[in-house]
Structure 1
């Protein structure tokens, strides 16, 4: 299964890239996933939604399209998720349909739960299936490491299961919106 890990924060001084690197290392121990990292800091998106799709937007859309499933790495900022992540999510639409999404979140005290709760609403509108289990880090107490590996494995097991099921379903019958 091709799982795209999207790093949602583009702030200077962010920890999202380190959190994503840890998750990719955990996922890399498996032989049932091919992980691709899509770090939003590597894209030069327009400040406003343009009339014509830009090459950078197309590059992101193509990554979403070729994925069987997703893991979103997101911080929680003021009980929400980053604007950079929402902007990128909105560039694709049909490409998200009938694919699973898992979450690795982090924040101070809240562990990113509010960000994930808000993202579940967004991804429901995009006709994805968000998996129940997630990885949540309190940056005041946790560092990504062995203690979080069981949660990462459980969440990834669910993403892979749904990826297989939904890929077979899409092959048997086109998804209807």
Structure 2
């Protein structure tokens, strides 16, 4: 079975993305559709603003932080982005992390757990779909959209979901498993592409 990477997109102080992601990590582990589940926190990865001189499609990376990021993303078979909505769009840290790489993203499915106010982050998700499809990722239709996210947060328990959120998480995980399996034959050739200088 494959490996799922759950990317926590927000890095700001006071973010709610981490407890949301930790809840979804628990759902993914209980689902058991993936052999491995890894929580990837962009605040811990701490990539600087894009500073590679070469186009990422060549894999000719000059910085160790990029080589480390390449190895981390390259080892994952499917992704979930846990993301906020900033001014009707996705946040800069997520876009920066995506732009560092190219081949490592190819032919991998991606699902979205978005959160916010009345729109539940859905406008940001619609915008990021244009980005990921350019990298030949496959966004799944099923999604977890959390409106008025603070109503689900508890200081001690983290995110406390309702039945709608739990059902949405299962549906998205089911689809990620199916799509990952379908895309898997397209990825072996990528393993031989250069990953750094």
Max Rg structure: 2
Map Cα deviations across residues 94-127 of structure 1 (whole Å, 9 max, x no partner).
1111110000000111100111001100001011
Paired residues, number: 174
SS of equivalent residue, structure 2 residue 98 = helix
SS of equivalent residue, structure 1 residue 122 = helix
SS of equivalent residue, structure 1 residue 108 = coil
Task: State the shift of 1:169 in Å.
Answer: 3.8
Map Cα deviations across residues 11-33 of structure 1 (whole Å, 9 max, x no partner).
10000000000000111102221
Map Cα deviations across residues 4-53 of structure 1 (whole Å, 9 max, x no partner).
00110001000000000000011110222111111000023223423353
Alignment of 1:1-177 (within 5 A): 1-33=2-34, 34-51=36-53, 53-139=62-148, 142-143=151-152, 144=159, 145-147=161-163, 148-171=165-188
User: Which 4+ residue blocks in structure 1 deviate beyond 4 angstroms?
Assistant: none
Gaps of 5+ in 2: 54-60, 153-158, 191-197
Gaps of 5+ in 1: none
- Computed over aligned residues only, the root mean square deviation of the Cα atoms, in angstroms, reads 1.9
TM-score by length of 2: 0.82
TM-score by length of 1: 0.91
- C-alpha distance in 1 between matches for 2:44 and 2:136: 26
